[in-house]
Amino acid sequence: MKELSVFKTGKANDAFVEYFVGQSYLNMLATERIGIGNVTFEPACRNNWHIHHKGSSE
């Protein structure tokens, strides 16, 4: 997948495949004290995980 972000694409997000329709990739940016990850979606991939009503850092 071509890099289109300042973040690397990461590995195939197989651990959370049940929450996605299509392929997503997970790049963990931090794992100590708090988990911070960047998820990249291939075209037409959809997330069935949760909704952030006030933005993604609520």
Q: pLDDT per residue over 6-50, tens digit each?
A: 888 899 999 988 889 999 999 999 999 999 999 999 999 988 876
Mean predicted confidence (pLDDT) in 48-53: 70
Q: What pLDDT is attached to residue 37?
A: 92
| CA–CA distance, 29 with 5 (Å, rounded to integer) | 14
Q: What is the pLDDT of residue 55?
A: 66
Does the pTM surpass 0.75? The reply is no
Q: Mind giving me the DSSP string for the chain?
A: ----SSS---EE-GGGGGGEES-EEEEEEE-SSS-EEEEEE-TT-EE-S---BTBTT-
